[in-house]
Structure formats: structure tokens, C-alpha cells
Amino acid sequence: MTLVDIERAGELAAQSVKCLREWRSDFIEFVQTLALAESPSTVPESQGDVRETLRRALLDLGFEVQLIPGKKYGDHLLAQVPGTFAEQMLLGHLDTVWPLNTLETMPVELDNDILRGPGIFDMKGGLAIGIFALRALKTMDCVPPLAPGFLITSEEEIGSPESEHLIVDLAKKASRVFVLEPALGERGRIKTFRKGVGHFSVEVTGVSSHAGLAPDAGASAIVELANVIHSLAELADSKRGITVNVGVIEGGTRANVVAAHATAEVDVRVKTVEDARKIEAEIDRITASVPRTHVTIEGTVARDPLERTPRNQALWESALGIASSIGVDLEEGDSGGASDGNLTSQHTATLDGLGAVGDGAHADHEFLHVDRSLERAAILAGLLTLP
């Protein structure tokens, strides 16, 4: 991207600020409408209202909107310019972690610049930012040089089990992806790095026997699991940003029975794709050391890291320049959690954390700053005009 391209995009962002400020009340109302339509990931039948609100908004912007049916989970929306494919893609999700009826104890409330409610920060505010950025470009009769698309999924909060392949397929065709996950902290940092995340399941089988009458006849699965846990813990490396957490263990039946079965669930986080492949191989090499026990470990680092690759950094530098043109001092930051941006970053330039500025993702104080979130819509509008 040339300096001239970024300056031109910055000028368009500055023009869009005027529209967005005039639409402040509309923006608030739109976010409130989305938040009042509760849409937990695990109750797909609850998601119809929020999906329909988004579908109508995208149709009003001139997009062709396709409903992609889910199987176990909810349906997804894919909006594209008629007759084209998504050469650049906005990516978001309509599901939240909040169960139905959360509004009874956590109502949607506006207090000057603060808008509170379940899912407002993560990430219904981000979806609104995407819609209003596109609305600003349409109002200014600005046709982006790369045809935009908007994918809105329904099960990101539980790991995108059904939409992952769709996300990857679209990313492979797109020149860049803008992820509308919330910004990092109240400083509103863009997420230019995310750790890779893996999940592993450990199963140990042994031989049961009476712990008092015939202890040597048994082979303890629990003792072997303890050995496996020790081996896993040794794989952690704080200097390289590798964490290994055995979060759940189960095993045995009674205190006086040598355990014939034990299991564990393990979370792994890494900073590089190289380390992801390395730790997968190291875990695969773990075997039983207690005679007559057997260890099975299944899992992978399913979400490789979103790294500061050259193409991702070029997109970040563009965002930095565009933000400067509207007087926003943008910062970048690291996130220990993964998003769908981890998926797209393996295939195309990706910038994450372009959604709402606020705090409280998955927490009962969840909120966004209205005016700073509108600034994000202006920055996104500028980014969409880059060649």
C-alpha cells in the first residue's frame, strides 16, 4: 500500500466521520435492537430476530444476502455485492455467551456515551460498526476498489465448529479480512497478534484390583495420568509463550480400588505456527511408563496463531495512518485468546479487533463507548477504500 493510497483512504475516513456523527442516534438504536434480540450460541432457534435485523440492513445497502443453513447450530449470513465475490471481507458473529433471559438481570441501558448490555461489546457493537461503515461509503457514493463482503456466523463463541470451512474458503479468495471482534481493553488497541490454541484429551487405561487385598495385581491409570501430566507440564516454556494447562482430570471409582481408567483435558497456547507443530509432535511422543497401562492422547492446535506477518503488518500500518487522519491515536496489542481471525490469517492479510471500544467481554459489566466505536466505523470505512 502506498502512502498516497493511505492518505486518500484517510480523507474518505474523515468525510465519513461527519455522516457517522449525524447517525449517532441511529447507531445506538441499531446496537440496542441487536442486543435486545438474545442469541446464545447453543440455542440456534433464538437467533432469528437478530439475523433478520442484520439481513434487512445488508439488503438496504444493496448487498445480495445468502442464508447458509447450519446443522446443529444456527444459520449464517453471507452478504456480497451482486455479481461478485468478496474480494475483501468483513467477518463477525451474531452469537453470544449469554443464556436466554439474561436481559432480566442485565438490561440494555444507555448512560450518555456508555451503552451496556449482554453481547453489546462482544460483538453486536462490532456488527453495527461494519454496517455503518458500509452505510457511510454508500452515502458518499464511494465504491471500494475491491468488492466487499460480510460474513456473519452463528457459533463463533463455541469455536466455529460448522463455519470454519466456510471462513477458510472465503479467506483463500479474499485479499484481506477485517475482523470485527472488540478492541483490546478500554485503550481500544487493535489485535495484531493472537496466540494459537489447542485442545487435547488424554485417556489412560490400567488394570483394576483391590487396593488392600491385591494391590500388585492392579496397574493404576491415575498414577500413569500423573506421569503424563508431569510430561505435559515440562512442555510449557514461558520465554517462548507456550502454556500447557491441564484443566480437568477424572479417574477411578473408589478409594480402595486401583483405578482402571483416568482422563484429562488440556489447553495449549503457542505464539508461532512453528511451535504449534513442534508441541503437537512432542505430545504425540508421550507414552505410558507404568507397566500394563496405556495412554491415548487426541487433539491438535486447531487454531494456529494470528502472527505479525508482513502482510498483516502492512494492513496495520494502513490502519494507523487512516486513524491518524481523524485524530485517533491507534495502538496495537496481543491477545491470549483466539478468534476466527486466527483462521483467516493463515491465508490472507488479516486485521482483528476493529469492533467496539469498551470492556467486559463475557462479563456482567459489558459495555461500549458510543463515540469511540463510531470512530472505529470511520477507520473501517477508510480501510475498505484501499486498493
Q: Which domain holds residue 149?
A: 3-194+305-384
Q: Per 3-state DSSP, what percentage of the chain is helix, strand, and coil (rounded to 5)? A: 40, 25, 35
Instruction: Dump strand ranges (E) for the chain.
Output: 64-68, 76-80, 88-93, 109-111, 114-116, 148-153, 176-179, 190-194, 196-205, 243-251, 261-270, 294-303, 332-335, 349-351, 358-359, 367-369
Examine the domain organization and report whether 244 and 184 are in the same domain. Answer: no
DSSP string, 9-57: HHHHHHHHHHHHHHTHHHHHHHHHHHHHS--BTT-GGG-HHHHHHHHHH
Examine the domain organization and report whether 30 and 94 are in the same domain. Answer: yes
Examine the domain organization and report whether 71 and 152 are in the same domain. Answer: yes
Examine the domain organization and report whether 84 and 166 are in the same domain. Answer: yes
Q: Is 82 exposed, middle or buried (0-12, 13-18, 19+ CB in 10 A)?
A: exposed
Distance CA 42, CA 341 (A): 22
Backbone angles phi, psi at 203, to 5 degrees: -125, 130
Examine the domain organization and report whether 132 and 43 are in the same domain. Answer: yes
Examine the domain organization and report whether 314 and 335 are in the same domain. Answer: yes
Examine the domain organization and report whether 47 and 25 are in the same domain. Answer: yes
Model pLDDT, residue 313: 97
Examine the domain organization and report whether 52 and 137 are in the same domain. Answer: yes
Model pLDDT, residue 286: 98
Q: Read off the CATH number of the domain in which 286 is found.
A: 3.30.70.360
Q: How many domains does one find in the chain?
A: 2
Q: Read off the CATH number of the domain in which 327 is found.
A: 3.40.630.10
Model pLDDT, residue 117: 98
pLDDT tens for the chain, residues 1 to 387: 798 899 999 999 999 999 999 999 999 999 999 999 999 999 999 999 999 999 999 999 999 999 999 999 999 999 999 999 999 999 999 999 999 999 999 999 999 999 999 999 999 999 999 999 999 999 999 999 999 999 999 999 999 999 999 999 999 999 999 999 999 988 999 999 999 999 999 999 999 999 999 999 999 999 999 999 999 999 999 999 999 999 999 999 999 999 999 999 999 999 999 999 999 999 999 999 999 999 999 999 999 999 999 999 999 999 999 999 999 999 999 999 999 999 999 999 999 999 999 999 999 999 999 999 999 999 999 999 999
Q: Which amino acid is at 82?
A: P
Examine the domain organization and report whether 210 and 329 are in the same domain. Answer: no
Examine the domain organization and report whether 235 and 371 are in the same domain. Answer: no
Distance CA 307, CA 382 (A): 23
Model pLDDT, residue 218: 97
Distance CA 135, CA 246 (A): 47
Question: Which of 286, 303, 320 is the last residue before a domain boundary?
Answer: 303
Question: Which of 303, 318, 347 is the last residue before a domain boundary?
Answer: 303
Chain centre distance of CA 227: 34
Cell matching residue 88: 475483501
Question: Which of 303, 337, 359 is the last residue before a domain boundary?
Answer: 303
Q: Is 182 helix (H, G, I), strand (E, B) or coil?
A: coil
- Candidates 72, 131, 121; CA nearest to 98 is 121
Distance CA 112, CA 310 (A): 40
Examine the domain organization and report whether 41 and 26 are in the same domain. Answer: yes
| CB within 8 Å of 213: residues ≥ 6 apart | none
Examine the domain organization and report whether 314 and 261 are in the same domain. Answer: no
- Give how far Cα 20 sits from Cα of 55, 129, 374, 378, Å: 21, 10, 6, 7
Distance CA 5, CA 262 (A): 59
